[in-house]
């Protein structure tokens, strides 16, 4: 099977890529945690807006990887450091915003649910998720060090190889985020009834985003 796929699509070790992608997607990261928080606080529709931002961000990273950005970053460490520090700062800023939302949620726990949601999660989920995706350390390292390894450089139609790999990544991501969204919606009712728990979870997610920022800041090629 691997030999047939390699001959047809120019992809080496196809099933290794599929299994590796599934496990990498399942690892907790800022993308999934953000979509989960939006689903719990703002519902299915807004959560899917966030998911669409992530799909677009991942697609952009895939295109950049296929276009040689991975090699460019490896050949220019200074550029890589600029990208990673900007990304780390943005993820830390998101974390601080969530910690602020935790405080506001606790402070305003006796207000109407809609008012608290506006205070905790302002802004358009699509735009914020798009930037989070582009600055996601897991995604950046995945496309730099893992994604491109499975494309045979001697294959005549490399765009076909990248296209199939991208489709597999997006299918895995869509499936996982759909599960995350409906888990978040189930949690929403609990959060409405228990404001302290909601504030605590928001604060915990915010702290994790700061951790993701620190992880990206310490990442190496």
Q: Is the pLDDT of residue 13 over 90?
A: no
Name the helix (H) or strand (E) containing 127.
helix 125-134
Chain segment 102-118, per-residue pLDDT in tens:
666 666 555 544 444 44
Q: Where are the domains of the chain?
A: 2-217
Q: Is the pLDDT of residue 8 over 90?
A: no
The pTM assigned to this predicted structure is 0.70
Give the model's confidence band at 27: pLDDT under 50 very low, under 70 low, under 90 confident, else very high.
Answer: confident
Residue 205 pLDDT: 63
Contact criterion met (CB below 8 Å) for 203 and 102: yes
Q: Is the pLDDT of residue 142 over 80?
A: no
Residue 119 pLDDT: 42
For the chain, give the mean pLDDT: 75
Task: Return the percentage of the chain with pLDDT > 90, whole number.
Answer: 13
> Which tokens go with 179?
């599960």
User: 186, exposed or middle or buried, with CB in 10 Å at 0-12, 13-18, 19+?
Assistant: exposed
Task: Return the percentage of the chain with pLDDT > 70, whole number.
Answer: 62
Residue 70 pLDDT: 60
The residue to which tokens 């404001």 are assigned: 195
The average pLDDT across 16-42 equals: 83
Q: b/e string for 111-148 if b means 16 or more Cβ within 10 A?
A: eeeeebbebbbeeebbebbbebbbbbbbbbbbbbeebb
């Amino acid at each position: 099977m691997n030999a047939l796929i390699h001959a047809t699509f120019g992809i080496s070790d196809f099933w290794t890529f599929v299994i590796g992608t599934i496990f990498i997607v399942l690892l907790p990261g800022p993308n999934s945690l953000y979509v989960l928080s939006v689903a719990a606080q703002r519902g299915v529709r807004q959560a899917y807006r966030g998911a669409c931002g992530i799909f677009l961000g991942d697609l952009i990273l895939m295109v950049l990887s296929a276009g040689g950005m991975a090699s460019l970053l490896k050949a220019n460490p200074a550029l890589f450091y600029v990208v990673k520090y900007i990304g780390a700062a943005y993820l830390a800023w998101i974390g601080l915003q969530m910690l602020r939302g935790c405080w506001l949620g606790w402070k305003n726990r006796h207000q109407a649910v809609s008012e608290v949601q506006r205070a905790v999660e302002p802004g358009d989920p699509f735009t914020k998720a798009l930037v989070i995706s582009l600055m996601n350390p897991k995604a950046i390292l995945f496309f730099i060090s893992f994604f491109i390894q499975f494309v045979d450089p001697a294959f005549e139609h490399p765009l076909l190889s990248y296209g199939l790999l991208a489709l597999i990544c997006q299918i895995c991501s869509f499936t996982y985020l759909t599960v995350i969204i409906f888990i978040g919606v189930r949690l929403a009712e609990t959060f409405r009834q228990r404001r302290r728990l909601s504030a605590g979870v928001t604060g915990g997610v915010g702290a994790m985003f700061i951790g993701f920022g620190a992880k990206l800041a310490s990442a190496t090629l």
